[in-house]
Amino acid sequence: MSDLTPKPNFSASVQAAGGVGSAPVPATEHGDHLHHDDHEHDHHDQHWLWKYVFSQDHKVIAKQFLITGMFWAILGGTLSSLFRLQLGWPEGTMEWLKPVLGHWIEAGKLNPEFYLALVTMHGTIMVFFVLTAGLSGTFSNFLIPLQVGARDMASGFMNMLSYWFFFLSSIIMFSSLFIETGPAAAGWTIYPPLSALPQAIPGSGAGMTLWLVSMVFFIVSQLLGGVNYVTTVINLRTRGMSMSKLPLTIWAFFLTAILGILSFPVLFSAALLLVFDRSFGTSFFLSDIYIAGQALSNQGGSPVLFQHLFWFLGHPEVYIVIMPAMGMVSEVLATNARKPIFGYRAMIGSLIGISLLSFVVWAHHMFVTGMNPFLGSVFMFLTLIIAVPSGVKVFNWLATLWRGNIRFTAAMLFAIGFVSLFISGGLTGIILGNATLDIQMHNTYFVVAHFHLVMGSSAFFGLFAGVYHWFPKMFGRMMDEKLGYIHFWLTFVGVYLVFMPMHYVGIAGFPRRYYAWTGFDAFSQFADLNKFISIAAIIAFLGQFIFIFNFFYSIFRGRRATMNPWNSTTLEWTTPIVPGHGNWPGEIPAVYRWPYDYSKPGSEVDFIPQNVPYSQTQSSNLPYEQELAD
């Protein structure tokens, strides 16, 4: 173990030195050396633990993130099915769930506090554990070294720690589901004072403590991962891989990692101050509280301050979730439309624009918190501007499809679905970002529908597109296409059936996080629609098991993949069918061209990989490319 670990780094740094143009040859030697070395260790019985469990190979770590993320996604989906049962059939009995839920079922009814715990855990799990760790963790890990042409991450050891901190965090969060007082129940946004006072809701006792501890480890994991991603992209690109030749996936992961590094520490500080308020009697967020027959001594704190801190992470967080999906979708669309992505530079520019703006829009979650209305005006202005770069991305995706020659792989279907959902969900953001209209829409189901489409379902679709597309490189086998089609159409139709009607309910002012609406005249007219949404949601959720089945079946029994099954141009498809530790058995290929030379006029094949020099493609070179070839 000890002699194995430093080698990827060593060879990677040599290769990086080679990247400057000095000595590509030593890189080859070390690469080979490493490979043989590795091979010997493979046969050594003692090392399976280090190969499959505490592995420092970015590809293994990526799979670990993916499978942990899938576990969480099933759990998060199950929780949502439970609370959709409650919302769809508020008068129905839940007695049959008693064997599973135990004392949370009281006289055949779901306990309202447990309902809130379900909602809270669903949000926490989906946003952080699935769509941050499961999506970005999987594909940043898997694709960054493969697509920039590196042997591994800058620090394999930190990368391994990143996963295991996430694992620890997962264990803690999971265990909080089983404690007597239940898991955290103050909403995934954990606004104090509710989250600070166990007297206010039982979930704010031990459940909230575990939530905070788990999130601290989660943030550590994110930072370890993020620093690695950024370092790798900056330092370990192969020869010729300038920033303007990076695939859009890498640009997206790179900017996502920067967002994470800059915003997660702020959540850390918010969590820390909340721990102080909860356990050490400070008053950062608490003031003038009389609860459970007792006036608390806390004075001078501000609950709104917590919201500022939370959303300073919370808003970039939604872009942390969606940007990797955007990057992968760009890649999948271009590959399967057999066309260059339209407006490559505009795509990078809009990603950078979104990244910058994402830091200055957080208070649009707080228009009606009593924050100074002038601040509301400023944040309305900044928020609505985000529509412009987002629009540019959508138009560019459409232009990429225009006059393409489209192959509907499962990944392509999900990529097209992503664009559709991103449009549908993104446009309603224009309503919610308008402070005036947000007075009515804030915290209603309109918001729920909006973000489930634009960052929930879209990001899931990006994740699916990524899995279907890169599965051959991960496992050397293909996923079944027909099952992929069924999975796509069921999910796509299901998502729209769930979230479109939710807008109607929201426009009428139906508040979110309501255990039942039956007490209000204004909201009680939607019983049928709620039933409809619940049925659609549960079916769409069950449909995901097609994917789960397909995934695990194909790992072992799928058809064998070829080296480059999609005829793609990027570097990962130049590796062996199942790349070993170090990725390329020989020299790392050098890069000569941008990643989107699909259907280039004059070229015989309809794709030219990035590692093909211009000198070999005289017939298809554009004039300026010809100069480079000469």
Partner 1 sequence: MTALTILLVLVLLLVVFGLLFRLQIFTSIFSGSFTRDIGVSNSVNAILMMVFLVVGGAWFAYSFVENFNKMNPPIASVHGHKMETMFWTTMAVIGVAFAITQILLFWYAYKYQHKDGRRAYFFAHNNKIEVIWTIIPAIVMASLIFAGWKAWTRITGPAPKNSVVVEVMGKQFNWLVRYPGRDMKLGVINYRMIDAVNEWGFDLSDKSAQDDFTTNEIHVPKGVPVLIKIRSRDVLHAVYMPHFRVQMYAVPGMPTRFWFTPTTTTDEMRAKLGNPKFNYELACNQLCGGSHFAMKATVIVDEPDDYQNWYAAQQSFTQKNPDVMAAFKQKAKTMVTPVAAAPEVEAAPMPLAASN
Dist. CA 318–CA 449, nearest whole Å: 15
| Contact between 427 and partner 1 per CB under 8 A | yes
Burial group, residue 372, by CB count within 10 angstroms (0-12, 13-18, 19+): exposed
Query: Which residue lies nearer to partner 1 by CB, 5 or 603?
Result: 603
Q: Which is nearer to partner 1, 262 or 430 (CB)?
A: 430
Interactions with partner 1, residue window 80-119 (CB under 8 A)? 88, 111-113, 116
Complex with partner 1: residue 133 or 271, whichever CB lies closer: 271
Lookup: tokens for 15: 């290769």
Give the whole-angstrom CA distance, residue 464 versus residue 412: 10
Kindly identify the residues of this chain, within the stretch 187-206, that bind partner 1 according to CB under 8 A.
187, 191, 193-194, 197, 200-201
Run of H or E including 150: none
> Does 380 engage in binding with partner 1 (CB under 8 A)?
yes
CA 373 to the chain's CA centroid? 33
The yes or no reply on residue 435 touching partner 1 (CB under 8 A) is: yes
Binding residue (CB under 8 A) for partner 1 from 18, 340, 456, 582: 340
Residue from the set 434, 555, 587, 626 that interacts with partner 1 by CB under 8 A:
434
Q: Which structure tokens are listed for 519?
A: 């007490």
- Please state the separation of Cα 411 from the chain's center in Å: 16
Q: Both tokens of residue 281?
A: 């009697």
| 318 makes contact with partner 1 (CB under 8 A) | no
Q: Which stretch binds partner 1 (CB under 8 A): 34-42, 150-158, 310-318, 499-507?
A: 499-507
**The one segment of 29-37, 125-133, 205-213, 433-441 that binds partner 1 by CB under 8 A:** 433-441
Spell out, one character per residue from 454 to 493, where the chain touches partner 1: x when CB under 8 A holds, - when not.
Answer: -----------------------xx-xxxx-xx--x--xx
Angle made by CA atoms 417, 323, 461, in degrees to the nearest 5: 25
Residue whose token pair is 């006072």? 197
The separation between CA 384 and the C-alpha centre of its own chain, rounded to angstroms, equals 23
**Nearest to partner 1 of 300, 623 (CB atom):** 300
Dist. CA 604–CA 48, nearest whole Å: 45
Closest listed residue to residue 594, CA positions, set 402, 334, 414, 391: 334
Q: Which is nearer to partner 1, 25 or 522 (CB)?
A: 522
For 162-193, give one letter per residue: b (16+ CB within 10 A) or e.
bbbbbbbbbebbbebbeeebbbbbbbbbbbbb
Under a CB-based contact definition with an 8 Å cutoff, are residues 597 and 616 in contact? no
Q: What number of CA atoms fall less than 13 Å from residue 185's CA on the CB side?
A: 25
Judged by CB under 8 A, which stretch of 33-41, 354-362, 382-390, 452-460 contacts partner 1? 382-390
Q: How far apart are CA 451 and CA 431, in angstroms?
A: 12
Nearer of residues 38 and 277 to partner 1, judged by Cβ: 277
CB 14, min distance to partner 1, A: 35
Size of the site for partner 1 (CB under 8 A): 137
Token representation of residue 580: 């070993």
Q: Judged by CB under 8 A, does residue 406 bind partner 1?
A: yes
Question: Residue 218 Cβ, how far from partner 1 at the closest point, in Å?
Answer: 22
- Residue 391 found at the interface with partner 1 (CB under 8 A): yes
Which 275-294 positions form the footprint of partner 1 (CB under 8 A)? 286-291, 293
Closest-CA residue to 152 (of 253, 232, 54, 226) = 232
Q: Of 562, 568, 622, nearest to 330 (Cα)? A: 568
Binders of partner 1 among 127-186, rule CB under 8 A?
186
Q: Residue type for 406, please?
A: I
Strands 109-110, 294-295: pairing is: unpaired
Decide if residue 124 touches partner 1 (CB under 8 A): no
Residue 387 C-beta: closest distance to partner 1, Å? 5
Q: How far is the CB of 113 from partner 1 (least distance, A)?
A: 4
Q: Nearest distance from residue 50's CB to partner 1, in Å? A: 31
555: exposed, middle or buried (Cβ count in 10 Å: 0-12, 13-18, 19+): middle
- Of the pair 33, 512, the CB lying nearest partner 1 is at 512
- Binding range to partner 1, per CB under 8 A, among 102-110, 125-133, 264-272, 430-438: 430-438
552 contacts partner 1 (rule: CB under 8 A):
no
557 is a contact residue toward partner 1 (CB under 8 A): yes
Q: Does 416 bind partner 1 (CB under 8 A)?
A: yes
* Binding residues among 568-607 for partner 1 as defined by CB under 8 A: 596, 598-601, 606
Nearer Cβ to partner 1 (255/286): 286
Among the residue ranges 22-30, 65-73, 205-213, 494-502, the one whose residues contact partner 1 (CB under 8 A): 494-502
Minimum CB–partner distance for residue 390 and partner 1 (Å):
9
Cβ pair 365, 314 in contact under 8 A: yes
Residue placing its CB nearer to partner 1 in the complex, 67 or 430? 430
Q: Which of residues 34-73 bind partner 1 (CB under 8 A)?
A: none
Compute, in degrees rounded to 10, the torsion defined by CA atoms 40, 44, 46, 47. Answer: 30
Distance CA 492, CA 510 (A): 25
Contacting range for partner 1; rule: CB under 8 A; set: 26-34, 219-227, 233-241, 535-543: 535-543
Three-class secondary structure assignment of 515-566? CCCCCCCCCHHHHHHHHHHHHHHHHHHHHHHHHHHHHHHHHHHCCECCCCCC
